[in-house]
């Protein structure tokens, strides 16, 4: 479990169970975090192959409050998508989640 201010992030096992006791109940929601490309190593090892980590967070969690404790350099958090919709950098500190949301993050990429 990680705590960043008032935000608790708790990984959820593959079967949907909370990984450790003490999380759940009022004020908690489930969110799936997906990290791609060079960001995958910021996920706990057990979740890297799937590039996704289901988790339980405080209802007041924001995108920024979930990203910060993972230690990802801000310059690598380039494309942020919530339920398939791009979230501009200026909204990431205030955008909150609903239960069941999926947050996907990509680093800058090059190609053509």
Residue by residue, DSSP assigns the chain as: -EEETTEEEEEB-TTS-BSSTT--STTEEEEEEEE-GGGGGGS-HHHHTTTEEEEEEETT-BHHHHHGGGT--GGG--EEEETTEE--GGGTTT-B--TTEEEEEE------
d(C-alpha 29, C-alpha 62), whole Å: 12
**Taking the domain 2-106, which CATH number applies?**
3.10.20.30
Q: What is residue 67's predicted lDDT score, i.e. its pLDDT?
A: 92
Which tens digit of pLDDT belongs to each residue from 29-84? 999 999 999 999 999 999 999 999 999 999 999 999 999 999 999 999 999 999 99
This prediction's pTM: 0.79
């Amino acid at each position: 479990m990680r705590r960043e201010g008032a935000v608790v992030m708790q990984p959820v096992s593959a079967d949907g169970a909370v990984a450790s006791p003490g999380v759940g109940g009022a004020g908690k929601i489930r969110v799936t975090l997906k990290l791609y490309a060079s960001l995958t190593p910021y996920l706990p090892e057990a979740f890297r192959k799937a590039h996704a980590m289901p988790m339980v967070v405080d209802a007041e969690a924001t995108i920024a409050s979930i990203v910060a404790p993972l230690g990802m350099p801000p310059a690598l958090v380039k494309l942020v998508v919530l339920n398939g919709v791009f979230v501009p950098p200026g909204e990431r500190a205030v955008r909150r989640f609903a239960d069941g949301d999926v947050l996907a993050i990509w680093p800058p990429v090059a190609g053509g």
